[in-house]
Chains A and B, each alone.
Chain A
Amino acid sequence: MDSEVGMWSIRDDSVSMERLDGETILINFETGQYFSFRGPSADILWLVQAGVDPMHWPATLGESFEHFSWTDQVQTSIIDFLDSLSELGVISAITEMHGASVALPDDYVRTEWTAPSVFANDDLADLLVIDPIHDASEDGWPQS
């Protein structure tokens, strides 16, 4: 079965993210929400960030997860996940992709596939909307 997942890109203008040991931490500076993605959720985000065409996703995930099969159920769970990320302002739809197929990072032990999920933390939103490193007055950084 081919992938019918749409094409997306990370909203680099408002989002910053880091991956370590299979976990991706992400801040949306527009909303001050932050997220922790683990396992398959972090891997889907990695594929979006790397600009890998969704047509390559079934093969890439199949090489990484045990007993993986690109079923309707899997595809729907990924589409729902990406729609949620879009609603939260983390990714946006695009019409063209040029990224080559890349392997997922070998930074944690993958076993069975589980549906990706997203949970937004907003307890620090009041602070994280501030970008002290890049916000600068006319005096320039770090005088702001």
Chain B
Amino acid sequence: MDGLSPNRRQARGHYFASQLVDAGSTQSSAWFDARLGPFGLRIGYRTQDALCELILGAFMQQRSANAEFRLSIVRAHEMPRLPPMEWASPWTNAGRVVPEEITYPYRVFIDRTTGIAYALDQQRGVGTVWIRRNGELDLRSFLTPFRLILSWMSNLRDAEIVHGSGAVINGQGMAFSGASGSGKSTLAIACGILGEQAISDDCLLLYKNTMFAVYSRAKLTQHSLALIGGPSIPTSALAHSRGAKEYFRLQSLGTGYVSSHALHRWCFPIIDKRSAAYVLTKRRAYRMLSVDSLREVFGGGVRNRIRLAHEVAKRPCTRLMISESMPDNLALLRALPSSQPGMPIAASNWNGEPDE
């Protein structure tokens, strides 16, 4: 530690956060009205360039200017020097969010890896992200930007953002959760292309038993697109970013896209040789969902854990083995028993064995 007393660290943390939040509000000269699930989000900015367009393009636009939250984007050339940060060095060096008791009612994270500093005033729902110089940035992290501060904002309304994709199959809302490479994006997009509906790739916002899209775009590899088949989708790729996935707007799926739906089931996909499913115990599902989603908010807090436990406890949880045959995978999903009482169980390949 650096020898700062708790009171002094708290005072410096408050100064840093208030300066950053205020700078965001005063620097912004243009505003973009977006949606964060069911909530309004006004995004402020001053510099309108390719990076700004990449960021704004990730969000869903809404016409109404009524917004629960405001988020300002401040660039390094607009605010070359951040307020002193040495008070936060134990957490910045460790890549962790500053503990809330130090910055309360603000939340602060200084991410040296991506070169972004986040500050949110939780009492006003007003936040700022400060982004260092363009030349030092990895643009891939701006395809679905600022998850952390969006997650903090959602938490203020008792909503939770989880790392997952979503789809509607036979009227059943299904959330696919899993680590990168587990097939959750491919599965959701396949639903949207092959006759069902995709909701979101990468992040879902859960609020009052409904899952909402967080971002307007989805990321996929060409291999995944080839596996899915069906009509081609116009995709874009980041310039000068080798190995980056291609991306497209979910709305280009037409009727194969819907921005929200009731959530009926948790699914945890894993790539396998054949399509199959089995029941997951709640404990196993909670562990899998938490490891993946709380990591996204750098450990997650007490409220995050309780919300995720509630979400898992009240819905069926399924392990999905998905194959390279998307029609087989869709047939499997369509055959999953309805979570609504009184519906017949139609699956011939449904295996009800618990995994623990």
A interface residue numbers (CB < 8 A to B):
16-21, 25-27, 34, 49, 100, 102, 105, 107, 123-124, 126-128, 130, 132-133, 135, 141-142, 144
Contact = CB atoms under 8 A, between A and B. Distances in A.
Contact of B309 (A19, A124, A133, A142): A124
Interface residues on B, range: 20 to 34
Contact of A21 (B101, B123, B283, B312): B123
Contact of A132 (B7, B101, B294, B310): B294
Given A18-B303, A25-B302, A26-B302, A127 B309 contact: yes
B105 A133 contact: no
A11 B282 CA distance: 27
Given A20-B156, A27-B305, 15 more contacts: A16-B301, A16-B302, A18-B100, A20-B303, A25-B303, A34-B306, A49-B101, A127-B312, A127-B313, A128-B306, A132-B287, A132-B290, A132-B294, A133-B291, A133-B294
A124 B313 contact: yes
A132 B302 contact: no
Contacts of A102: 7
A30 to B, nearest CB: 15
B301 A18 contact: yes
B295 interface: yes
Interface string B279-305: 000110011001110110001111101
B136 to A, nearest CB: 28
Interface in B98-116: 100-101, 104-105
Given A124-B310, A127-B312, A133 B299 contact: yes
A18 B303 CA distance: 8
A130 B303 contact: no
B122 interface: yes
B281 to A, nearest CB: 10
A130 B299 contact: no
A124 B313 CA distance: 8
Interface string B299-332: 1111101100110110000000000000000000
Which of A19, A27, A126, A127 is most buried by chain B, counting CB atoms within 10 A of its CB?
Answer: A127
A18 B287 CA distance: 21
A142 B302 contact: no
B306 A133 contact: no
Contacts of B282: 126-127
A133 to B, nearest CB: 5
Interface of B: 7, 100-101, 104-105, 122-123, 156, 179, 282-283, 286-287, 290-292, 294-295, 299-303, 305-306, 309-310, 312-313
| Interface pairs A-B: 9 shortest CB-CB | A132-B290, A127-B309, A124-B309, A127-B286, A18-B302, A132-B291, A132-B287, A142-B291, A25-B302
B299 to A, nearest CB: 5
A19 B308 CA distance: 18
B123 A107 contact: yes
Contacts of B287: 130, 132, 135
A100 B122 CA distance: 27
21 contacts: A17-B302, A18-B100, A19-B100, A19-B104, A20-B156, A25-B303, A27-B305, A49-B101, A105-B105, A124-B306, A124-B309, A126-B283, A127-B282, A127-B283, A128-B306, A130-B283, A130-B290, A133-B294, A133-B299, A135-B287, A142-B295
Contacts of A142: 179, 291-292, 295
Contacts of A34: 302, 306
Contacts of A107: 104-105, 123
Nearest to B284: A130
Nearest to B105: A107
A26 B306 CA distance: 10
A118 to B, nearest CB: 16
Contacts of A49: 101
B286 A130 contact: yes
Contact of A133 (B101, B300, B303): B300
